[in-house]
Amino acid sequence: MAIQNDPRIPVAVLGATGAVGQRLVSLLDGHPRFVLAEVAASERSAGKSYADATRWILPGDMPAAAHDLVVTSVEAALSSPICLSALDAAVADIVEPLQASRGKFVVSNTKSFRMKPDVPLVIPEVNADHLALLDMQPHRAQGGGIVTNPNCSVVGLAMALAPLDRAFGVARVAVTTMQALSGAGYPGVASLDALGNVIPFIDGEEEKIEREPRKILGRLVNGRVVDADFPISVSVNRVPVRDGHMESVFLDLKKKVSLDDVRTALETFTGEPQRLGLPSAPARPLVVRDERDRPQPARDVEAGNGMTVTVGRLRPDPVFDVKFTLLVHNTVRGAAGAALLNAELLLAQGRVATRAPVR
């Protein structure tokens, strides 16, 4: 495959054979600005073709362009300037800084570095300005850096909170999640645990949801993020749904406003991806539905090609100022699409050297 004259930027996918890695490979197929140039996975897969190394679990077939890519080790020297990483935390701990120190932009989906002071935890519509933290990283000298996207449940929550916090101030939040099976990866949840059942626990998840949105909605002050000050209370559940995390959200605001004000703030929300016309940006990051029984994973998860968060059941409440239910596509907007949109933002901000590498 001669991609030397291809104007698209080559990217590597780290952890390409796993569930999120496959989503990345799928989303890169036909991408206007990026081309999948390298797939990296564990030593066990290295040397095999991507088709041989991968048990493809997404609907439909593996993109033809990926079939014959030879899997490299995640620690190998890569030629692509951008690494989209879907590595497990234990491997990411070592590999992501290694690749960043070699001058790569590592766009990470993993929890490892999300809460580090010098690592931006970014949802492009919400806190694109946090990318300035890249300048604080030691990898800057080599021209690389690490950017992270949030936990899959956090993306939906933080996106819905962002316009409300800006306009009215969020005072406190309680949220119960009903999370899809694909959030646990593959093989993930055993079918005997999942079928006709609800599991009220996901290891480490509540802590992430209680913490990450506060960094994302924090203000950048003198090269560091000052966390948002509202507390978040979370109760998580796994439900027998394939894709799409549902979240019942209860909310107090600092400024007392009408439901219409809340609705308007949600519906009119846009950010850098929409302004810059990024390829993976949905026209509307948030959609508010009026039907009394929406959103539903089976009907709404693909909104905006999986990049739109759907809000419904916006209504008053006897305890809180407002409550609503939201739905986020956990492996697209909540994982692979989030990383890809971050990479698109990096590119649009001119942070990535755009000449194709000599190969």
Catalytic residue list: 152, 245
Residue 222 Cβ, how far from a copy of itself at the closest point, in Å? Answer: 27
Q: By three-state DSSP, how is residue 269 classified?
A: coil
- Say which residues have a Cβ less than 8 Å from residue 294's Cβ, sequence separation at least 6: 300, 310, 312, 313
Between CA 30 and CA 175, with CA 86 as vertex, the angle to 5 degrees is: 105
Min separation Cβ 274 and a copy of itself, Å? 20
Residue 98 vs 171, nearer CB to a copy of itself: 171
Least distance CB 237 / a copy of itself (angstroms): 6
What is the arrangement of strands in the sheet containing 322-328, beginning at the earlier edge strand? 232-235, 170-178, 245-253, 322-328, 309-315, 286-288
User: What is the C-alpha separation between 107 and 96, in angstroms, rounded?
Assistant: 9
The residue (of 43 and 291) whose beta carbon lies closer to a copy of itself is: 291
Question: In this complex, which beta carbon is closest to a copy of itself, that of residue 86 or of residue 347?
Answer: 86
Q: How far is the CB of 314 from a copy of itself (least distance, A)?
A: 11
Q: Is 20 helix (H, G, I), strand (E, B) or coil?
A: helix
Q: Tell me whether residue 83 or residue 170 sits nearer to a copy of itself (CB atom).
A: 170
| Residue 296 Cβ vs a copy of itself, minimum distance, rounded to whole Å | 5
> How far apart are CB 238 and a copy of itself at their closest, in Å?
9
The span from the CA of 24 to the CA of 17, in Å, is 10
| Contact predicate 310/160, CB 8 Å | no
Q: Which is nearer to a copy of itself, 37 or 170 (CB)?
A: 170
* Residue of 31, 33, 26, 32 whose CA lies nearest to 50: 26
Considering the complex, state which of residue 146 and residue 152 has its C-beta at the smaller distance from a copy of itself. Answer: 152
User: 309: exposed, middle or buried (C-beta count within 10 Å: 0-12, 13-18, 19+)?
Assistant: buried
DSSP letter for each residue of 21-74: HHHHHHHHTT-SSEEEEEEEE-TTTTTSBHHHH----SSSPPPHHHHTPBEEET
- 196 φ/ψ sector (left φ>0, alpha ψ -120 to 50, else beta): left
Nearer to a copy of itself, 83 or 216 (CB): 216
**Shortest distance (Å) from residue 327 CB to a copy of itself:** 9
Q: Which residues bind a copy of itself (CB under 8 A)?
A: 19, 57, 59-60, 172-174, 176, 178, 181-182, 186-201, 210, 231-233, 235, 237, 239-242, 246, 248, 250, 292-299, 301-303, 312-313, 317-320, 323, 325
- Cβ atoms of residues 18 and 86 within 8 Å: yes
> Coil, strand or helix: which one is 242?
coil
Helix (H) or strand (E) holding 172: strand 170-178
